[in-house]
Amino acid sequence: MHYPLVSVIITTYNRETYLETAIKSVSFQTYRNLEIIVVDDGSDINYAAPICEKYSLCKYVSKENGGLSSARNYGINYAKGEYIAFLDDDDFWEKSKIEKQVKVLLENSKVDCVHSSVKVVDENGIYTGKNYGASFNKINKRSGYVFWNALGTWVVKSPTPLIRKEVFQPDLLFDESIKVGEDVDFYQRMFYRHKLFYINEPLAFYREYNDQERLSLQKEKYIGIEKKMFDNFKKMGIKNPFVYYLIKIKLLESHLRRWNMIHKKNPIKIRKIEIWIRINYLFKLYLKD
């Protein structure tokens, strides 16, 4: 039986506290053909190398600070595996995650990404009783060609995807100019080209805690990301103008939802019919550079 190499990319920057827990959760996977690549994105103190030395599967690489997208792209270029997985340095995995996901990719040649739900843990790694994933009536919408139901609405849960390396092309990498929300941009574009498979089981643990340095908490910085996303869709060479029209509508609606959630006292109210009729004008108005 073929056991493809899986490259696990863990990026880290000035956050030592949870890194070894993340590495351990990969080292103790039931699937054994793994390499762990810890990409240190220019941390002030070299804490990651001594931790990596404890684990035979772990490779430490460092680079100048360039942000999360830059670190992930660096790891992708360094990786030797047929499949790529990402793990943030404060999250960790259930021990059978990779084994279950590799099985899906081996059995489904038209699927290029496998993802799942997550269990939410606190800063001490204790399960909070909360899960993130598809609700019962939307499970079927998380597999297959999900682009139109996902655009502007949802992406894969960050510690869960396993992706074929061939997915990563020059026009489909993490945008290094996006400092917050780079995963939203990347996965929405990946959905345009590739099919998914959703495992309705929490295969990873997502850590939630109050630290304002966490990018996921910096909601204001997500405002306007839809303009970047649209520009990146254009770089993918989509030919059909009607597809561009629908993408614009979806992205503007996403921007308005995001804005109104943050600025509840100053919401933007536009009727749906007006968005459809005046999309080019409204897109430029609200998502100008």
C-alpha span between 106 and 83 (Å, rounded): 11
The residues with which 37 forms a beta bridge, in sequence order, are 9, 59
CATH number for domain 6-219, candidates 1.10.10.1100, 3.20.20.140, 3.90.550.10, 3.20.20.10: 3.90.550.10
> pTM for this structure?
0.94
**According to the model, what pLDDT value does residue 239 have?**
87
Measured in degrees and rounded to the nearest 5, phi and psi for residue 46 equal: -85, 80
In terms of DSSP H, where are the helices of the chain?
19-27, 48-52, 68-78, 97-107, 147-150, 182-193, 225-235, 241-262, 272-277, 279-286
Residue 172 is given by DSSP the state: B
Biggest distance spanned by C-alpha atoms of the chain: 60
What is the reported pLDDT for 289?
Answer: 59
**What would the pLDDT profile of 233-256 be if each residue is shown by its tens digit?**
999 999 899 999 999 999 999 999
Which pLDDT tens digit goes with each residue over 58-104? 999 999 999 999 999 999 999 999 999 999 999 999 999 999 999 99
| pLDDT tens series, the chain, 289 aa | 689 999 999 999 999 999 999 999 999 999 999 999 999 999 999 999 999 999 999 999 999 999 999 999 999 999 999 999 999 999 999 999 999 999 999 999 999 999 999 999 999 999 999 999 999 999 999 999 999 999 999 999 999 999 999 999 999 999 999 988 999 999 999 999 999 999 999 999 999 988 655 545 566 778 889 999 999 999 999 989 999 999 999 999 999 999 999 888 989 999 999 999 999 999 999 997 5
8-state DSSP, 287: S
- In the chain, CATH 3.90.550.10 covers 6-219
